[in-house]
Structure 1
Amino acid sequence: MCYNQNLISSREMPMKYMFRVVILSLLFSTSYLNASDSMDLHEALELLKSQNLEIKNAQYDIESAIQERKAASGNHWGKLDLIQDFARSNDAGNVFGFKLSSREANFGDFGFSEFLNPLGQAIGGAAGGTPPSDMSGLLSVEPRDLNYPETRNYFQSKLKYELPIFTGFKISSYEDIMQSVTKIRTLEKTQMLNEKVYETRKSFYDMALLEDSISNLNVILKNIDTLEAMTKEMIDVGYAKKVDLLEVVAKKGNVERLISQMESNKELLYHYLSFLLNQKVTSIKTPSLEIMMPTVTNDEILQNNLDIQKANSGLALKKSMVDVAESSYYPMVGAFAEVATADDKFLNDASDHKSYTIGARATLNIFNGGIDGANVEKSRVEYLKTQTQVALAKSGIELQTQKIRTEIQSLNKDIESLKKELLLADEIYNNYEARYREKLSSMSDVIIKQSEQIQKILQLQQTLNKRNERIFALEKLANGEEK
């Protein structure tokens, strides 16, 4: 009866409440699915490439270098400036210059009004028969119109274009320099990406090793629980002592401590992955424990290694810097053209007051105390030094490659041996546990054998971790995620 009432009440429930229930159910199921999803290594690497902040910063460096290269290339096209002067002055030179610039100067500006009057009187007297007087005093007259002009406004609008015709290959050399800088920035971003890929992959494989070790320790902990229960039963019937139980409890606490430490390390790995991917990571799908040995050859590593590519780009940059220094030996040739208009009012009678100027200039330095020669020699020395660094980088990468390969071979043998030793330790522990049941060995012997078992597990984990790290380092030298 209650069931029918509930059914009726649900049918009579208003539609808006039913809609809310459906939405909440969908949201709950979606959040549950997202929470249960685990990120695999491929997804993590794709997120790394798009979300990692350090990689984004490296991309900004590339974009900055590209703009600098465009700026260097833009010098080929010269520059066009619009110059607008606004001035007001009563300085004699400025006012007279303003009038000349606007094509409005007249003889009155020279003070001819003060010169022509006495000159005319002298000429008229000479015509009337009066003897000519000494007129040298006229030359000492200070024309007031010229020396004390009225204040004048000045507005000049000018378009000026300057074009470098020949710069001793300086501009093209700067272009080459910025091209090399852009390539270096690109290589640095790729190097940064490979480094973060290396760290992400290592974190995934470290997590796999931790989970495997925790699983093995949990098996041991389960065995200790069985041993603890068995010891309690043997104490009850008088076949074991309380100290045996204390030894078992102490060993159980030791194993639980190891498991707790590994769980803490897992949390730290999740925090580090969250930092690398720039988002919260709480669950991942761990890969297989061991990685296949890369098939890349030493020659391929030398050809693809980013450090060597950066060194070669740096060498090209130094060569361009030598060209820049040598450009001082060449003449510099440039051309210019300008059009202007000027008046005491802004753009007044612009067409009547316009003017133009075109020209070219060649400059050749004859002597500067040997500075140019010293700069050229310094650039050449830097170029030779970089050549040596490139050769050293190749030798260093080759040595590092051989060292890593040797280490991997040694670790492979260690892993093979440790796996056999772990199997033996498991068998010995099981044997001693059975002997303890039959009172043929002490609890101390069982605990010692169990400690050896745990030690082999930890040694195997550490060795596998070292091998994976060395393989990742070899792949990073080869400039690739996986080879």
Structure 2
Amino acid sequence: MKKLLTFMLIATIGGSLLNASQSLSLESALEMLKSQNLEIKSAQIDIESALQDAKAASANHYGKLDFIQDFARSDDAGNVFGFKLSSREATFGDFGAQEFMSSLNPSSPNYVPDGDYTTPPSDLNYPDDRNYFQSKLKYEVPLFTGFKISSYEDIMESVTKIKKLEKSQVVNEKIYEMRKSFYDMALLEESISNLNVILSNIETLEAMTKEMIEVGYAKKVDLLEVKAKKGNVERLISQMESNKELLYHYISFLLNQKVTSIETPSLEIKTPSISSEEIVKNNLDIQKANRGLAIKESMVNVSKSAYYPMVGAFAEVATADDTFLGDASDHQSYTLGARLTWNIFNGGADYANVEKSRLDYLKTKTQVALANSGIELQIQKIKTEIDSFNKDIESLKKELALADEIYKNYEARYREKLSSMSDVIIKQSEQIQKILQLQQTINKRNERVFALEKLANGDER
């Protein structure tokens, strides 16, 4: 057993190390995100809760069955007689019949020739105390509620769909954040690679400057300028490495597990080809707004239900005795019935409630139209920004290529003592500036592409 446990432990540790050493692809990360992200799990719980609310609303159609167990003890005349009557044990003696008959007996000391109809019978008015146990099953069911229950069903169905749409929004938001994190990482690695090339060039320039100082063709201040620029580039690389570490922490947070290595995607992201009309039609915010409008419409129907009569039916079976379930079959009883309740007048409150619900519906309808216009405006704004960034990126790539050539030219001129070290450093600074500017522009362009995909519910067509 010890050997088996040791083998399983080694296998588990080995598998964990293997998984830790593997780089996580974007596709795998997105699949893991849907099942591991805590916010998505919370949204799923909200859906399940809404489904239970919908079941509770539908359950009203089937009425309710109650078991009622009463226990009482009383010497109140009305209660005692009622207890006996309910348990089918009432007798003539409970009415004082024995006392009355004795008043008709000539041999009785209480004899009254014409009978005694005015003396209160003691057996009826002063009974002994009595226990009362009643066991009852009662079933009540609504037959017609003025469409109130069906309207509440429609409301809860819309609420459930809204919760599902909210979960889809959470999923899309987390996909957006995950994709952006992966592409941010790709940009950082690209920028670090470019800066490492520049750092290598600076180190070459540093070595060359040292040699030129030895032969008297350069000054110590030239070397100081080179070292200062080298420190600047190293600082930039260090900052980007720190940003990479922060991105890994954020990706780990999104996936709810530790991530130390990922496969960075290509920096080229195509602009979604989906039309603005399709985006507006399928947009989750618009779908939520439409569901909210359906709820307001159902609320109008709920308000109108006050104009209709309410009809319900009930049935009950019961047994009663002075002991629990005593002679239950002999003392059982049943009741069947129905009730109609119709409010004829309540001072115009029903009309006011209907009008308020109708106005809420009209207001929501206006808000839905406004939401459609807002999404359309947002789409056009994002598309315009993407086009602008595309042009900026093309221009910056050309400017970076020119800056690279200018730097190489000035480096060669410095070797020939045709330019100063300050001129070389300035051109190198322009080269670094173009790299960082290009990175920022690509980052902004990617963020806008992801934002457009998010509006399109993650559609990347």
TM (normalized to structure 1)? Answer: 0.91
SS in 2 for 1:168: coil
Counterpart in the other structure of 2:56? 71
Please, which moves more after superposition, 473-482 or 200-209? 473-482
Q: Distance in 2 between matches of 1:24 and 1:61?
A: 38
RMSD: 2.3
The separation in 2 between residues aligned to 1:27 and 1:383, in whole angstroms, is 59
Equivalent position to 2:312, from 327, 334, 337: 334
Query: Which of 418, 430, 444 is matched with 2:396 structurally?
Result: 418
Deviation, 1:90, is: 2.3
Q: Is the 8 A contact 1:408 1:471 kept in 2?
A: yes
Letter aligned with residue 255 of structure 1: V
Structure 2 residues not aligned, in runs of 5+: none
Contact residue 290 and residue 464 of structure 1 kept, 8 A: no
The residue aligned with 2:38 is 53
Cα displacement (A) at 1:111? 2.7
The more displaced of 23-32 and 77-86 is 23-32
Residues 341 and 195 (structure 1 numbering): CA distance in 2 closer, same or farther, change over 3 Å? same
Q: TM-score if structure 2 supplies the norm length?
A: 0.95
Identical aligned residues as a percent: 77
> Does the 8 Å CA contact 1:122/1:133 hold for their aligned counterparts?
no
**Deviation, structure 1 residue 141:** 2.9
- The alignment status of 1:456 with 2:434, answered yes or no, reads yes
Residues 1:371 and 2:349 aligned together:
yes
1:95 maps to 80
Q: Name the stretch that deviates more: 81-90 or 348-357.
A: 81-90
CA distance in 2, matches of 1:199, 1:125: 102
Displacement of 1:150 in angstroms is 1.9
Q: Distance in 1 between matches of 2:100 and 2:5?
A: 105
Alpha-carbon distance change, 154 to 459 in structure 1, aligned in 2, over 3 angstroms: same
Map of 1:45-444 to 2, 5 A cutoff?
45-121=30-106, 138-444=116-422
1:81-131 Cα deviation digits (max 9, x unpaired): 1111122222222211111100111122223333332343499999xxxxx
Q: Decide whether the 8 Å contact of 2:64 with 2:140 is kept in 1.
A: yes
Structure 1 residues 386 and 22, CA gap change in structure 2 (3 angstroms) = closer
Give the 3-state SS of the residue equivalent to 1:284 in structure 2.
Answer: coil
CA deviation after TM superposition for structure 1 residue 455, in Å: 0.5
Q: Equivalents in 1 of 2:412, 2:365: separation in Å?
A: 70
* CA distance 1:28–1:150, change in 2 (3 Å): closer
Q: If you compute each CA radius of gyration, which structure gives the higher value, 1 or 2?
A: 1
Distance in 2 of aligned mates of 1:103 and 1:21: 78
- 1:385 and 1:122 mapped to 2: Cα distance? 91
Write the distance in 2 (CA, Å) between the matches of 1:23 and 1:133. 107
For the residue of structure 1 that corresponds to 2:272, the secondary structure is coil
* Residue identity matched to 2:348: G
Q: Which amino acid aligns with 1:394?
A: N
Distance 2:129 2:45 in 1: 55
Change in 2 beyond 3 A, CA 1:354/1:253: same
> Is 1:208–1:286's contact at 8 Å kept on the other side of the alignment?
yes
- Cα separation, partners in 2 of 1:361 and 1:24, compared to 1, 3 Å: closer
Aligned-residue offset at 1:438:
1.1
Query: What secondary structure is seen at the aligned counterpart in 2 of 1:453?
Result: helix
Relative distance call for 1:27 and 1:238 in structure 2 (3 A) is: farther
Structure 2 Cα separation of the partners of residues 211 and 45 of structure 1: 21
Which SS does the other structure have where 1:292 is aligned? Answer: coil
Contact kept, 8 Å, 1:83 with 1:158, in 2: the verdict is yes
Encode CA deviations 1:328-358: one digit per residue, 9 max, x unaligned: 0000011111111100111111111111111
C-alpha separation in 2, matches of 1:139 and 1:419:
119
Aligned AA for 1:429? Y
Equivalent AA in structure 1 for residue 428 of structure 2: Q
1:248, CA displacement in angstroms? 0.9
